[in-house]
Amino acid sequence: MQRPTLAARRVATSRLTVNILERKGSSEGEPVLLLHGNVSAAPFWHRTVVDLPAGYRPIAPDLRGFGDSDPLPVDATRGLSDYSDDLSALLDALGLDRVHLVGWSLGGGVALRQLRDHAPRLRSVTLVNPVSPYGFGGTHGIDGRLNHPDGAGSGAGTANPEFVRLLAAGERAADSPLAPRAVLEACYVKRTLDPAAVDDYVGAMLSTRIGDDHYPGDSRTSQAWPGIAPGDRGVLNCLAPTHFRIDDLEAAQAKPPVLWVRGAEDVIVSDTSLFDLAHLGALGAVPGWPGSHACPAQPMVSQTRAILDRYAAAGGSVREVVFEGVGHSPHLECPQEFVAELTAVLRSGR
């Protein structure tokens, strides 16, 4: 059987022009929207777009400020609502009524926002190593309580400046452990990927717009450890717990089935995340850590499980799938197994 070829096109919506990746010449089947993560773009979904079985119409958009979509500024005070509203506008422009939604990492947070606000439009929701419903960094406990009222320890100030510099410079080599390629191979995935595919993924990472309105965003100083707090602009700030919080998912107007897929070896979204300054402080990697009583690590996975448990108790269907030996990107590391699990929830959401 001949594998489908892919095509990209830009779609004008009421909010911005969005670049989408889809199967060439295909406009039939149940639509499956695939939302990428932070510092990435639609090419991270290449394999899934190709491998989904007949009867489905996979569509992978570039979020604003990534890939070839318009680089509009991100209002971080709205949490992930800029991205969620962009998605709603794209569905309207494409004339799509009810869709399956798949979100990875940052895109998983967008999917959670859509599920909370626009559940009747969704046939199913698949969360792939999603950001916690209480954002990234600066919280403790399964109910996402702030470590400090200003969100200290989260937001744009937590980004490594050398990684940001190399990203802005378009660095493709892996000579530095903070180069995009090195970060992808060490943190995005646990398993080794095909080098040609890695080249494509690095190119997608380098499409990230850099600046206060984009990645990583602006930041403020804080009196609390580690001395930084989120600003009001840009990508990492819209993930800060002072701006993004979904603690009532069970109140969604409809209850489409939810599949939660994650890699057991994820070092990004984890209860012991190597990107969480509180956990790094506990390891001695960030000086001055005040101790677990004042600044414990964020239990990201446990927070997600708690909110999905409440969703299930309210009548929703939730299935958790954990891939052993897999990192932050199951759709890249075990693509056949991932598509099999995804196809199962797509069939259940009709």
Q: List the one residue out of 50, 40, 53, 44 whose CA is nearest residue 6.
A: 50
* Arithmetic mean of pLDDT, 126-147: 98
Report pLDDT digits (tens) over 144-203. Answer: 999 999 999 999 999 999 999 999 999 999 999 999 999 999 999 999 999 999 999 999
Which residue has 């802005």 as its token pair?
168
Cα 113 to the center of its chain, rounded Å? 12
**What range does the domain containing 260 cover?**
6-145+242-348
Residue 336 counted as domain residue: yes
Percent of the chain with pLDDT over 90: 97
Read off φ and ψ for residue 174, nearest 5 degrees. -120, 35
Residue 196 counted as domain residue: no
Cα distance between residue 302 and residue 143, in whole Å:
9
* Helix H or strand E encompassing 100: strand 99-104
Report pLDDT digits (tens) over 230-253. Answer: 999 999 999 999 999 999 999 999
> What does pTM read for this prediction?
0.97
Label residue 350 by pLDDT band (50, 70, 90): low
Strand 99-104 versus strand 30-35 pairing type = parallel
pLDDT given at position 161: 97
Phi-psi region of 105 (alpha: psi -120 to 50; beta: other; left: phi over 0): left
Report pLDDT digits (tens) over 79-113. Answer: 999 999 999 999 999 999 999 999 999 999 999 99
Residue 211 counted as domain residue: no
- What CATH number has the domain bearing residue 309? 3.40.50.1820
The tally of domains found in the chain comes to 1
* Arithmetic mean of pLDDT, 48-52: 96
Six token digits for residue 151: 């969100």
Q: Is the pLDDT of residue 278 over 60?
A: yes
Contact status, residue 76 vs residue 8, Cβ threshold 8 Å: no
Residue 81 counted as domain residue: yes
Cα distance between residue 205 and residue 3, in whole Å:
26
Residue 304 counted as domain residue: yes
In DSSP notation, 17-56 reads EEEEEEETT---SEEEEEE--SS--GGGGHHHHHHSPTTE
Label residue 298 by pLDDT band (50, 70, 90): very high
pLDDT given at position 310: 98
pLDDT given at position 25: 80
* Arithmetic mean of pLDDT, 211-219: 98
Residue 191 counted as domain residue: no
Strand 6-12 versus strand 56-61 pairing type = unpaired
* Average pLDDT over the chain, rounded to an integer: 96
Please list the alpha-helical segments (H only) found in 262-299.
277-282
Residue 167 counted as domain residue: no
Q: Is the pLDDT of residue 320 over 60?
A: yes
Cα distance between residue 89 and residue 93, in whole Å:
6
* Arithmetic mean of pLDDT, 269-288: 97
pLDDT given at position 70: 98
Label residue 26 by pLDDT band (50, 70, 90): confident
pLDDT given at position 27: 79
Residue 157 counted as domain residue: no
